[in-house]
Amino acid sequence: MKNIIIASTSTLHEGSYLEYLLPELKVLFEHCKTVLFIPYARPSGISHEEYTAKVALAFAKINKEIKGIHEFEYAEKAINTAEGIFTGGGNTFLLVSQLYKNNIMSVLAENIKKGTPYLGTSAGSNICGLTMQTTNDMPIIYPPSFQTLGLIPFNINAHYLDADLQSKHMGETRETRIKEFHEFNSVPVLGLREGSWLVVNGEEISLKGNLSARLFRQNQNPVEIEIGADLSYLK
């Protein structure tokens, strides 16, 4: 049975890395001594080692040890033997490219679907959807496919921002970008605002956190999804 947290962000302005999620992570990884970390998204280009060390400091607060997937000779074996898995944020194009390069996209999906506890933040959340096509990231590298883990029956737009009506910025809003996606794709898209996350237990999907989410569907007006709402009907 799937046991997943899909969070828009790892860090809120008023807290340290993963701080706001630690009570949830203590429950998610309750039966894990060690959590496998996938640092492939490399925010700001930091090394796998630097990223893993940062994550280890946060998880130490809930008495969990972190092992980076890059520390293993065989990435597939690391996933197959993992007690729990966390994929961090950064660039989704880079993350997806590396998952395919290491031949572990399907392996990762299979293990999570079988019940390995999983946390995704930002890019690590984007890959939980059907495709990565609703990421906000620049295409700094070309992945072999946009198809991702398919753990939920819709796509995620992490760090969703509402239009600022007072802004003089003339560029496209996030809502406009998602509407452009729906000109060519029918996959629903959930805009996750900062500080909110999805909890997936088996086939049940619920919204948690402080802010509502915004659901976009092809040829329909977007709707607000309130905290506590069940999104399982989207399957």
Which residues participate in catalysis according to the annotation? 122, 137, 159
* Contact between residue 146 and residue 182 where contact means Cβ atoms under 8 Å apart: no
* C-alpha–C-alpha distance, residues 230 and 232, integer Å: 6
Identify the DSSP state of 215.
E
Q: What is the torsional sign of CA 58, 125, 43, 224? A: negative
Q: Is 147 helix (H, G, I), strand (E, B) or coil?
A: strand
At residue 112's C-alpha, the angle toward residues 107 and 87, to 5°, is 85
User: What DSSP assignment string belongs to 60-124?
Assistant: HTTT-EEEEGGGSS-HHHHHHT-S-EEE--S-HHHHHHHHHHTT-HHHHHHHHHHT--EEEETHH
Cα 9 to Cα 17: distance, rounded to the nearest angstrom = 10
